[in-house]
Chains A and B, each alone.
Chain A
Amino acid sequence: MQKVFIAGAGCTPVREHYERGLLDLALAALGDALDTIPASRVGALYVGNTLGDLGADQGQLGAYIADAAGMAGCEAVRVEAAGASGGAALRQGYLAVASGQHELVVVLGVEKVTDKLDAHLQTAQALGLHGEIEAAHGLTTTGAWALLMQRYLYEHGVAAEAFAPFAVNAHANAVANPNALYRFPISRAKWAGAAPVAAPLNMLDCPTLADGAAAVVLVSEALARRWEAPAVQILGSAAATTTVALAQRADLLALEAAARSGAQALAQAGLSRADIDVLELSDPHGITAVLALEALGYAERGAGTRLAAEIGRAGRLPLAIGGGMKARGDVGGAIGVYQIVELVQHLRSSEAQVALAQCLGGSGSTAVTHILSRA
């Protein structure tokens, strides 16, 4: 396998972009990421997208976007794994360059949701759950995480308020991110008084689904050296799955796919979690971040909320530096690519050397983890 570098990264602001369609958002992010690289040099385009069919009434996003972007008939395909779609697309791009099949590929995450009403979007999002034994009974993705949180509170004797710092941290970090949806801080008191959405999850413990697109350019080592670009290297890439239905898991509160993909990505990079300077997780709710941190081994089972004191920008474990899903916004299948764009910018502008990005699909059924390093 050959080394893979990120030579470009860009994204649109996450917004309710009523004036822009999916293609417009995609092309803006591609232009931002490619910068001076001609689109005709792109060997393949991998599109991470979750709701293209039901949210934007458009299938075959690979050809649809590649053609409009002037990519000269290149290989192009949509990759779907619910909320892990962006990470899964990045992994396809990584494999294409690492295998030597292509020397330059683009990974795009794009989501267009605001053309639809809420109930329709809930139906579309719930496609990431088990259709026959979860969604058919009315369970939503938010509801699935609420079931996990309720059980967590019961088993570990943790108060719901212990999860507040994750949303507070996400909002604090989003203030400095011009691409974030919600650029205002929130307090723990405001969190505690928020109305319930899917109890025990409240409104300030839930993200807003919004529109956006993010893209990264992956290149071979030869190309990265020739361009002498300030590149970031992908040191590890791993994906894993577990049951789609919560009820069929042997251990309900263990995110097994998150644990396995995290461990595999770190092993491939030859690093341990102690080497990670900054991380991005699927963090739509505090419970999601806490379960992922426990799966990655940062805390014992039931002790994840105690990491709250360390997740700030100056802490030992900076998390959600761009605002995370809570405040940057939930961009569905684009999350995994937004994470990379934010981490690349951070690695280029801070002392941080190594970053970990993990995104989850559905209730954690798919997990994709990447390890990035300043080259």
Chain B
Amino acid sequence: MNIAKHWRQNGARYRLEGQRHRDGTLRFPAQSLQPGEAAADWQPEQLARQGEVFSFTVQRGGAAGFDDAPWTIIALVQTAAGPLVTAQLTDCAPDEVAIGLPVELVVRRIGTPVADGLLVYGYKFRPRLLM
């Protein structure tokens, strides 16, 4: 069972929580400290909920848990704060997507349950409703 594995990522999955370094660098998701780093070097910080499509693909077929949909749109989203986020696009059709499309965060179910039966929720992006 992967319950704890998904639970550990709740900050990133539900709030787009990353980390900002004391030198100003923002990264996503939060990572463990490298040897020599101090806990105070990185502070949690949520990314902006808005971004633009930086690149995208329309996958047909997929890995287990993602193979029952006719297609899945996956994008690299350039968030307003800086980091790229890899996520599914939802509430849109493939021909509505282009690089530069403004998008916003939503929390949705990701994939369909596989062997362990877990319902996994997390971030996706949809075309921005209010500009």
Q: Measuring CB to CB, which residues of chain A are less than 8 angstroms from any residue of chain B?
A: 118-120, 122-123, 126, 132-140, 142-143, 146-148, 150-151, 154, 196-201, 245-248, 252
Contact = CB atoms under 8 A, between A and B. Distances in A.
Contacts of A123: 63-65
Contacts of B94: 199
Q: Which of B27, B55, B65 has the most CB of A within 10 A?
A: B55
Contacts of B85: 133, 247
Across the A-B interface, give the 8 residue pairs with the lowest CB-CB distance, nearest first.
A146-B57, A247-B84, A138-B66, A151-B55, A122-B63, A123-B63, A119-B67, A199-B58
Interface string B36-61: 00000000000000000011111111
A154 B54 CA distance: 10
Contacts of B60: 196-198
B57 A122 contact: no
B29 A132 contact: yes
Interface residues of B, number: 35
A294 B120 CA distance: 39
Contact of B63 (A119, A245, A247): A119
B101 interface: no
20 contacts: A118-B67, A119-B61, A119-B62, A122-B63, A122-B64, A122-B67, A132-B29, A137-B110, A138-B88, A139-B86, A146-B59, A150-B99, A151-B76, A196-B58, A197-B60, A198-B59, A199-B94, A246-B86, A247-B85, A248-B84
A150 B56 contact: yes
A132 B57 contact: no
Contact of A151 (B9, B61, B72, B99): B99
A94 B50 CA distance: 50
A198 B86 contact: no
Nearest to A197: B60
B74 interface: yes
Contacts of A252: 54-55, 76, 84
Contact of A136 (B55, B57, B120): B120
Contacts of A118: 61, 67
A263 B73 CA distance: 36
B122 interface: yes
A198 to B, nearest CB: 5
B106 interface: no
A135 B114 CA distance: 14
A252 B86 CA distance: 13
Contacts of A201: 57
A309 B97 CA distance: 33
A141 to B, nearest CB: 10
B86 A142 contact: no
Interface string B73-105: 011100000011111100000100001000000
A230 to B, nearest CB: 45
Given A119-B62, A147-B55, A247-B28, 5 more contacts: A132-B9, A140-B62, A140-B63, A147-B74, A247-B86
A196 B99 CA distance: 18
Contacts of A146: 57, 59
B63 A137 contact: no
Contacts of A137: 74, 86-88, 110, 122
A135 B9 CA distance: 14
Contact of A147 (B56, B63, B72, B120): B56
Given A147-B57, A154-B55, A247-B76, A138 B122 contact: no
A55 B120 CA distance: 25
A122 B55 contact: no
A138 B74 contact: yes
Nearest to A125: B63
Contacts of A248: 27, 84
B57 A138 contact: no
A133 B29 contact: yes
A315 B64 CA distance: 42
A8 B27 CA distance: 48
B54 to A, nearest CB: 7
Contact of B54 (A134, A151, A245): A151
Contact of A134 (B61, B86, B110, B120): B86
B113 to A, nearest CB: 13
Contacts of B62: 119, 122, 138, 140
Nearest to A139: B74
